[in-house]
Amino acid sequence: GSATPIGILVDAVDASGGDKAGTIYIGGDFNRAALVWDSTFDTDAKKAAAFDGTNITTRNLAYSVG
């Protein structure tokens, strides 16, 4: 099936055996590269649009180690 993302899970949840409770973020700005994406979000464009209509934004962040 397909689903429209409405939140970001805080921790991994194994729901393979049925419904499970979990905590989600419903708003904020997140590093797109740090998220674990479903395989259907296979392009940057799909990831950029994933949370359209929500209070979640994602973007690619640059890191500097020095």
What is the pLDDT at residue 30?
A: 95
On whether the pTM is more than 0.85, the answer is: no
What is the pLDDT at residue 64?
A: 66
* Residue closest to 7 by CA, chosen among 58, 59, 56, 57: 56
pLDDT tens per residue, the chain (66 residues)?
457 899 999 999 998 999 999 999 999 999 999 999 999 999 999 999 999 999 999 998 876 676
Bridge pairing between strands 24-25 and 8-9: antiparallel
